[in-house]
Each structure stands twice: as C-alpha cells, then as structure tokens.
C-alpha cells in the first residue's frame, strides 16, 4: 500500500515510488531523492514543523507539504 | 589568461579546494553586467602560467531555483562572457557520488573540458568507500583525481592535471553529448535553436530552451525566437526536466554502482549530535545559549586588544604633536585624521571576534540546523528558514547578509528578509553602542558572572531582532505573492572547522571593514575638521572677540580662556551652522547640534558617529589625551551647564542607532540585489521613521 512520507513515524522508512507534485519532484530529484531512494524519517519538528529525513545516507530537511508529495511503496519499521 | 571554473554541489568542499589552489591570491569581485559577486583567485602553473580560478556558488543542477544557484548556469551557458571558462574543475563529494554526478554530467554535456576532483578522500577512507577512479575516468572520458580539501592531500596532482589540460595546444571541446535521450519535441526544439542561433552544442541549445526567459545575456529578439520555437513544438519544460534527471540517474547509476565499493556504515557522530542540536526542546535553547556566548565573548575577549589600540593612538597623537611644528597641518593630522581613525580602529577586535564566531558556526555545519529549527517560526513572519542565516550574519554586517538571501528562491520571502536584515545590529553599531552604553548602564557584573554592559548590549541586539520580526510581519501582510516557497535543504555532516577557511574569511571581512570604513572615515574626518575649524570669517572673529572679553570679565586663566574660545568658535563654524540647522528636528529627542552633526555624517556609515564625536570634541578641548568616553562624559550644555549625555539622551541616541538605516553601502547592495530604487527608499523611509519615533518615546519616558 502507498504511503506519503508524512504518514511515517520517527524512525520508520520506505522506498520512493513516485511524487504527487511535478514542481516539487523536479527539485527533489536534483537533490538526489529519486524513485527507488530509501527514505527514513529521523525527526519531526513540533507544531507541524519540518521533517528531518535521511535519504540514501544524506540528511535533509523538508517542509510538511514537501514531504507529503513523496509517495513511498514499502513501509517498514527500523 | 586561461580561466577555469570550480563547480559543484553545495557542501562538496569546493571552497576548501579553492583556498588550497589560490591561497591568499583571491578576491571577491563584482563583475560588470552580472549582479552577483564571484570569488576570483589566481593559480600559477609551471606549464600554462597564470590561471584565473572562479569559485562558482554550489548548485545541484543546471535547473536552478534561487538567485545563487543561477550563477553557474549564467556563466556556463554564455560563451560570449568575459569569464567564460576554458575548463571546469568539478568538485564532487566522493561519499555521495551518485547525487553529485547529475550536475557533472550536465557540465560534460555542455562540452566543457572537465577535471573531476573526488573530494573528501579522507572521509571515504574512514567510511571504507573505495572508488575505481580508472573506471569512472574511462566512462566519463575525463581525468579523475582523488583529493582531500581538508587534509590537503593530492592538491599537487590536481594542479598537475589542470596544467596538463591547459597546456594542450588546442583545448578539445566536445561537440556531442554523452547522454542521448531527447524526446521528439526536445529534438525538434534543439535542432531549430541550434540552427537559428548558430549554436554547436545540442545540450547548450536545450538549456536555452528551458531557461531563455531568465537568462540575462540573451537579447530580446533571441528570447522571442526561442519562445516561438518552443511554443510551436509544444515544449513542456517541467516534465522534460524530470525526464532528463531520471534519464541521467538511470544511465550513470549502474556504472557508478560497479565502480564504488562500500563496506560498513556511515559514522553516526552527526546523527548523535543532531539528536541534541535539532531536538524539539533543546534545539532552540541551545541556539539561544550559543548566541548568548557569542555576545559575551565579544566583550570579554576584546577588552585587552582594544586597550592596546586605544593607547597606541594616544601615544601616536602625542608623538606627532611633539615632533611636528604647530600649525594647521599638525592640527588636521592629530585632531582630524588620527582621532577619527583611532575612534574606529579600536573596534576591530570586537568585529573580528564576531566574524570569527559566525564563520565558525557556518564551518562546523550549525547554520543549516538553525535554518531547520526556525523555518516554521520564520514562516509566520513571512520569512524562510534560510532567513536565519541572513539575520545572524546581519550581526556582523548587513552587506554579506543581504547577499546571502540569494539562496531564498521565493521573491516575497527574499524581499522581506532584505528589508528587515539591517535592523539586526551590525558590527558597525558596536562602536556607537559601546561608547553610549557606558552612559546608560553602570560597569560591573550581575551575579558576579554576567557583564552588565554586555547584557545591555545583548538587550539592544534583541531589540533589533524584535523590530526585524515585527517589521517582517507587517511586510508579510502588505506584500502579495502567489509564488511557492521551499525549505528543501541538505544538512551537511558536522565537521571540525577548517582553520584556513575561517582565517581567510576573517581576513577578507575585517580587511574590507578597515579599508571600506577607513576610507570613508578619512574623508569624513578631513571634511569635518575643515567644517569645524573654519566658518564665516566675520562671525568667527566676533565669536573669538566675545569669548576673550567674556573670559577677561570672569578673569579666567589661560587654559579656560582657550577652551571657551574653541567652544564658541566651533559653534560659529560651518559644522556648527549645519548642526544648528537640524537641531529643531532632533531637539525633541534630546539631541544637541553636535549630535546633529554626528547624525548627518553617520548617514554614510554608522561607525563614523564615534569618529565625528572624537573629532568634534577634541577640537573643542585642549586635552588631547582624553579618550572619547571621557570627553563625552564631561560635555555640558552651554548656558545651563547640564551634562549633554544624560541617561535619557544617551538612551534615545542608542535607540536611534538600533533602528536607523545609516549605511550607504547597504543601500547600494539593496539596490543591486532588488534591482530597483523603490525598495531602497521604502527601507530608508520605514527605518528612519521607526528610529525617530522610538527614540522620541524613550527620551520622554526617561526624562
């Protein structure tokens, strides 16, 4: 079943399947977030703040809306 | 001269390599026609002689979204440019090669001769990453060198490779791309642009199709031509960009997987540190603790060097007065130039410490965390998390701070950041604050540890920050924009600072302060000395006669007579007239005409305030040895004999300097960065109004 990154809890991860927003996809891909990349949620800032992610070993932070545009295909516990 | 460009992603360690290659032979230059500063340096090579090196800002691809990222495209897609490089040294972080290959393959496709520098070989060793450089080199058709910008490994080999490439009689430019995946509409557009604009490289033509609207070097008719071609072919830029990115990753991805051997996992020091430094509760607390330490340090560490410089200028003045014959020239030298210059140079230690600490925070990777921590809060004020970097660097100087807003891609967020950044107290306010705080806050410490004047200092900074946030909120409500805003930021691993980088940055920034401010201060001091020494001859004579008569009437001694004459004369001088002219406007704030003169001169630059006061008061007094603080402390209003620098006046003046836009250089940068005078006037207007009203309020509350 598909999930967006924002549905993950801290520590959970999945594999990118596709994106829901073209413009964000364009930017995310240039930063190395691609279909097949492994995404782990490391930390979520309080009050719907940013998502601290580990994507294929690189640490990056996204806003909630940005993280929400990433669709994951596998969901697993760490 | 040959030009080579250093290109790469953010956090690829490009700057360290640039510093290694060029050492002290570097400068930041503003190139004509391009509104962006580029870092230039020179490199001497045995075979190809002197080579100019350009350090391009880091970007992830040739599809930029912020001003900052756009530079690389603007330079590399414009063969007519004076700084069009003959070759590119591409710096890639060897621990994240796949990501760094996107821009690399784009630059190779543009036809540039490229040398690939695999940076961070030290880190790769530690993480057990091995790259088969021969395989990579054969695949890309470019030379590959493993280097470490941190340890300085293999820099000589990189220089040799550059030398070899440049020595070849004719530098080979590729005419075709390695990656061929043009969709039919792409092929059509590329062929037509190539034909009509006479472009040999197909990828170059494709980039023009994608970016023609925003490329500054294209002529108007070229833009229309390209637009027509794109429209006729049904060229959809966004899906094609995505397809290109995907195509590149899937083309080189498998090759890289074969060439890289990894064993073991990434070290987790960064993860452990981030568990604390980006913690939901501890993170903001730690941030404020760090900022607090920074400001305590400015005061605690700078005391001794400041005393030395102060004493040095006093000694120099005495020495000159002793050895030079008395006359107007000696006067100009000691009372005009020397006292003006000394009044400002004494603050170099504080400024250097501030720059040092801010550079350090940036070097270790903390700034990116601050961006993450504050993004949500900043959004409430119409700003971006990235605005934090500008606001913090604004504590050193608004000029680099405003330039750092180029990383903010959203226009509205960027404009608001530019508008409010000068409200953050910059280092030029340090001299003014230091001199005036002494009149408002007593010396001594609170609970035996916290320097009270240091606390007051921090209070003024907080006031500036609050004003910046409130103003940002007001701008957010006024400005309208539908453009999207982004955070999307990579957090680099924490690293020990590279001391050469820190040292070079401080050297550049402090040097710019001394040269920039020094020049202004010299000119202003000389003009001011002239204005304060000379006046309408008849009035000056009458003032002198009256003063002497008054002195005889009260049978004053020689020294007191001289002081009285000097005081009366300065009042009648041109400077006195100028100050008197604006006195009615500033009287409600508790300021007299002398402060008026200082306000006028410090519209050029804030730090001139102290120099002006030093010049004005040293002319008015026969006591050359008194430092600026003592002179102000003894200043009295003529007639009533009240102290000029009462708590109320000093506090009002302090508040005025917190809010007022008094820096011609900042205004010039705002004009350059926003491309219009409109924002310069808006900024000047709102800040001046704020300053006037706030100091009026403070004066009346305290008086």
Indicate whether B140 and B240 sit together in one domain.
no
Indicate whether B513 and B473 sit together in one domain.
no
Number of structural domains (chain B) is: 4
Indicate whether B687 and B598 sit together in one domain.
yes
CB neighbour class for B182 (10 Å; exposed up to 12, middle 13-18, buried from 19): buried
Task: Identify the pLDDT of residue B399.
Answer: 80
Q: Which of A38-42, B113-117, B256-260, B613-617 has the lowest mean pLDDT?
A: B613-617
| Closest approach of A1 to chain B, Cα-based (Å) | 24
Q: Does the residue B486 lie in any domain?
A: no
* pLDDT band at residue B638 using 50, 70 and 90 as cut-offs: low
Cβ of A77 under 8 Å from any chain B Cβ? Answer: no
Local structure of B30: helix, strand or coil: strand
CATH number at residue B79: 3.40.50.300
Residues of chain B with C-beta less than 8 angstroms from the C-beta of A34? 245-246, 249
Q: Does the residue B172 lie in any domain?
A: no
State the angle between helix axes of B677-702 and B411-420 in degrees (0 to 180), rounded to the nearest 10.
40
Q: Does the residue B340 lie in any domain?
A: yes
Alpha carbon distance B463, B504 (integer Å): 32
* pLDDT band at residue B330 using 50, 70 and 90 as cut-offs: confident
Local structure of B2: helix, strand or coil: strand
Residue closest to B78 by CA, chosen among B168, B210, B207: B207
- Looking at residues B315-334, what average pLDDT do you find? 84
Task: Identify the pLDDT of residue B63.
Answer: 94
Range of the domain at B136: 2-167
| Closest approach of A23 to chain B, Cα-based (Å) | 7
B277-290: buried (b, 16+ CB within 10 Å) or exposed (e) per residue?
Answer: bbeeeebeebbeee
Residue closest to B489 by CA, chosen among B3, B9, B125, B5: B9
Determine which helix (DSSP H) or strand (DSSP E) holds B438, and give its type and residue range.
helix B429-440
Q: What digits encode the pLDDT tens for the residues B162-175?
A: 999 988 755 555 55
Alpha carbon distance B460, B454 (integer Å): 10
What percent of chain B shows pLDDT beyond 70?
Answer: 89
Task: Identify the pLDDT of residue B676.
Answer: 86
Indicate whether B466 and B556 sit together in one domain.
no
| Closest approach of B235 to chain A, Cα-based (Å) | 16
| Closest approach of B211 to chain A, Cα-based (Å) | 15
- Looking at residues B406-419, what average pLDDT do you find? 92
**Cβ under 8 Å to B: A residues 19-38:** 22-23, 25-32, 34-35
Q: Does the residue B488 lie in any domain?
A: no
Nearest CB to B376; choose among A26, A27, A45:
A45
* pLDDT band at residue B664 using 50, 70 and 90 as cut-offs: confident
pLDDT at B130 over 50: yes
| Closest approach of B470 to chain A, Cα-based (Å) | 21
pLDDT at B185 over 50: yes
| Residue, of A72 and B630, whose pLDDT is higher | A72
Local structure of B166: helix, strand or coil: helix
CB contact under 8 A, A27 and B375: no
Task: Identify the pLDDT of residue B265.
Answer: 59
Task: Identify the pLDDT of residue B622.
Answer: 43
pLDDT at B144 over 60: yes
CB contact under 8 A, A59 and B490: yes
Nearest CA in chain A to B240: A26
Nearest CA in chain B to A35: B246
pLDDT at B31 over 50: no
Domains and CATH numbers, chain A: 3-72 (2.30.30.90)
CB contact under 8 A, B376 and A47: yes
Nearest CB to A22; choose among B239, B246, B492:
B239
Indicate whether B516 and B632 sit together in one domain.
yes
Residues of chain A with C-beta less than 8 angstroms from the C-beta of B371? 61
Last residue of a domain, one of B167, B199, B223: B167
Alpha carbon distance B237, B183 (integer Å): 12
Indicate whether B160 and B192 sit together in one domain.
no
Local structure of B51: helix, strand or coil: strand
Indicate whether B81 and B159 sit together in one domain.
yes
Q: Does the residue B484 lie in any domain?
A: no
- B401 in Cβ contact with B310 (< 8 Å): no
Indicate whether B213 and B297 sit together in one domain.
no
Kindly report the average pLDDT of chain B as a whole number.
84
Instruction: Please provide residue B115's backbone torsions phi and psi, each rounded to the nearest 5 degrees.
Output: -115, 130
Q: DSSP characters for B374-437?
A: HHHHHHHTT--TTHHHHHHHTTT-HHHHHHHGGG---HHHHHHHHHHGGGS--TTHHHHHHHHH
| Residue, of B703 and B678, whose pLDDT is higher | B678
Residue B267's contacts (CB-CB under 8 Å, 6 or more residues apart) are B126, B127
Task: Identify the pLDDT of residue B448.
Answer: 67
- Looking at residues B74-81, what average pLDDT do you find? 91
Alpha carbon distance A48, B648 (integer Å): 45
Nearest CA in chain B to A34: B246
Last residue of a domain, one of B107, B136, B167: B167
Task: Identify the pLDDT of residue B359.
Answer: 85
Q: What digits encode the pLDDT tens for the residues B585-637?
A: 999 998 988 888 888 877 777 877 877 777 677 655 544 444 566 767 777 76
Task: Identify the pLDDT of residue A78.
Answer: 46
CB contact under 8 A, B373 and A45: yes
CB < 8 Å & 24+ apart, contacts of B314-318: B314/B342, B314/B624, B314/B625, B314/B627, B316/B342, B317/B342, B317/B624, B318/B624, B318/B625
Indicate whether B458 and B596 sit together in one domain.
no
Residues of chain A with C-beta less than 8 angstroms from the C-beta of B366? none
Q: Which of A39-48, B124-133, B152-161, B331-340 has the lowest mean pLDDT?
A: B331-340
Indicate whether B155 and B82 sit together in one domain.
yes
Task: Identify the pLDDT of residue B334.
Answer: 79
Task: Identify the pLDDT of residue B628.
Answer: 63
Indicate whether B43 and B151 sit together in one domain.
yes
pLDDT at B384 over 80: yes
Q: What digits encode the pLDDT tens for the residues B436-466?
A: 888 787 777 767 667 777 788 888 989 999 9
| Closest approach of A11 to chain B, Cα-based (Å) | 12
- Looking at residues B147-176, what average pLDDT do you find? 81
**Cβ under 8 Å to A: B residues 459-488:** 484, 486-488
Indicate whether B110 and B234 sit together in one domain.
no
B50 token code pair: 């002197």
Cβ of B389 under 8 Å from any chain A Cβ? Answer: no
Q: Does the residue B697 lie in any domain?
A: yes
B135 token code pair: 């395989």
Task: Identify the pLDDT of residue B35.
Answer: 40
Q: Does the residue B69 lie in any domain?
A: yes
Alpha carbon distance B156, B151 (integer Å): 13
Last residue of a domain, one of B137, B167, B197: B167
Interface-testing mutation among A18, A32, A40, with chain B (most B C-beta atoms within 10 A): A32
Task: Identify the pLDDT of residue B34.
Answer: 36
Q: Does the residue B497 lie in any domain?
A: no
| Closest approach of B306 to chain A, Cα-based (Å) | 42
Q: What is the 3-state secondary structure (H, E, C) of B56-98?
A: CCCCCCCCCCCHHHHHHHHHHCCCCCCCCCCEEEEEEEHHHHH
Task: Identify the pLDDT of residue B171.
Answer: 57
Interface-testing mutation among B102, B366, B491, B493, with chain A (most A C-beta atoms within 10 A): B491
């Amino acid at each position: 079943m598909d999930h967006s990154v924002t549905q993950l809890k801290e520590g959970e991860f999945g594999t990118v399947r596709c994106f829901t927003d073209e413009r964000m996809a364009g930017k995310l891909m240039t930063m190395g977030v691609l279909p097949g990349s492994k995404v782990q949620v490391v930390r979520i800032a309080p009050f719907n703040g940013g998502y601290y992610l580990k994507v294929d070993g690189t640490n990056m932070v996204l806003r909630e809306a940005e993280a929400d545009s990433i669709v994951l295909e596998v969901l697993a516990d760490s | 001269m040959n030009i080579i460009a250093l290109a790469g992603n953010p956090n690829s360690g490009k700057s360290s390599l640039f510093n290694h290659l060029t050492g002290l032979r570097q400068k930041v230059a503003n190139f004509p026609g391009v509104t962006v500063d580029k870092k230039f340096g020179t490199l001497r090579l045995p075979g190809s002689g002197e080579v100019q090196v350009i350090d391009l800002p880091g970007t992830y691809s040739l599809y930029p979204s912020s001003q900052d990222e756009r530079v690389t495209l603007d330079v590399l897609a414009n063969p007519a440019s004076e700084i069009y490089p003959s070759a590119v040294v591409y710096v890639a972080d060897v621990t994240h090669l796949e990501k760094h290959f996107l821009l690399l393959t784009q630059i190779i496709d543009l036809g540039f001769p490229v040398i690939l520098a695999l940076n961070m070989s030290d880190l790769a060793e530690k993480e057990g990453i091995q790259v088969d450089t021969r395989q990579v080199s054969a695949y890309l058709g470019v030379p590959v060198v493993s280097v470490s910008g941190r340890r300085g490994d293999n820099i000589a080999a990189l220089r040799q490779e550059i030398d070899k490439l440049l020595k070849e009689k004719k530098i080979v430019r590729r005419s075709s791309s390695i990656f061929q995946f043009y969709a039919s509409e792409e092929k059509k557009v590329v062929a037509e642009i190539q034909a009509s604009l006479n472009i040999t490289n197909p990828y170059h033509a494709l980039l023009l199709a994608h970016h023609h609207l925003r490329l500054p070097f294209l002529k108007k008719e070229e833009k229309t031509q390209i637009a027509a071609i794109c429209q006729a072919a049904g060229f959809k830029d966004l899906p094609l960009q995505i397809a290109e990115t995907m195509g590149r990753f899937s083309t080189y991805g498998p090759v890289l997987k074969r060439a890289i051997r990894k064993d073991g996992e990434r070290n987790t020091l960064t993860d452990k540190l981030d568990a604390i430094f980006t913690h939901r509760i501890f993170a903001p607390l730690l941030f404020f603790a760090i900022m607090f330490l920074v400001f305590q340090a400015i005061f605690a560490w700078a005391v001794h060097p400041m005393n030395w410089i102060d004493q040095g200028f006093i000694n120099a003045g005495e020495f000159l007065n002793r050895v030079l014959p008395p006359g107007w020239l000696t006067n100009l030298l000691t009372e005009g130039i020397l006292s003006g210059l000394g009044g400002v140079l004494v603050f170099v230690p504080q400024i250097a410490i501030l720059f040092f600490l801010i550079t350090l925070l940036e070097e270790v990777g903390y700034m990116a965390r601050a961006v993450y921590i504050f993004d949500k809060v900043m959004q409430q004020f119409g700003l971006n998390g990235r605005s934090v970097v500008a606001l913090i660097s604004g504590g050193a100087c608004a000029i680099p701070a405003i330039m750092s807003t180029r990383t903010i891609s959203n226009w509205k967020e960027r404009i608001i950041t530019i508008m409010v950044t000068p409200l953050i107290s910059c280092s030029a306010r340090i001299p003014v604050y230091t001199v005036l705080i002494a009149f408002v806050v007593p010396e001594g410490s609170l609970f035996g540890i916290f320097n009270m004047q240091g606390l007051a200092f921090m209070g003024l900074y907080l006031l500036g920050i609050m004003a910046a946030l409130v103003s940002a909120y007001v701008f957010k409500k006024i400005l309208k924009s539908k453009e999207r805003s982004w955070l999307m930021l990579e957090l680099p691993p924490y690293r020990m600072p590279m001391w050469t980088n820190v040292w070079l940055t401080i050297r550049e920034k402090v040097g710019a302060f001394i040269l920039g401010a020094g020049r202004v201060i010299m000119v202003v001091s000389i003009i001011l000395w002239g204005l304060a020494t000379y006046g309408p001859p008849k009035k000056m004579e009458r003032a002198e006669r009256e003063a002497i008569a008054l002195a005889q009437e009260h049978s004053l001694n020689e020294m007191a007579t001289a002081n009285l004459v000097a005081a009366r004369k300065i009042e009648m001088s041109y400077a006195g007239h100028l100050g008197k002219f604006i006195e009615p406007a500033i009287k409600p704030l508790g300021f007299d005409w002398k402060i008026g003169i200082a306000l006028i001169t410090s519209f050029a630059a804030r730090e001139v305030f102290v120099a002006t006061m030093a010049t004005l008061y040293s002319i008015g007094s026969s006591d050359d040895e008194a430092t600026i603080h003592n002179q102000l402390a003894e200043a009295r209003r003529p007639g009533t004999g009240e102290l000029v620098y009462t708590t109320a006046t000093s506090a009002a003046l302090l508040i005025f300097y917190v809010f007022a836009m008094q820096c011609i250089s900042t205004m010039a940068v705002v004009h350059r960065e926003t491309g219009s005078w409109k924002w310069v006037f808006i900024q000047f207007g709102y800040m001046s109004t704020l300053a006037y009203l706030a100091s009026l309020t403070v004066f009346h509350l305290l008086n």
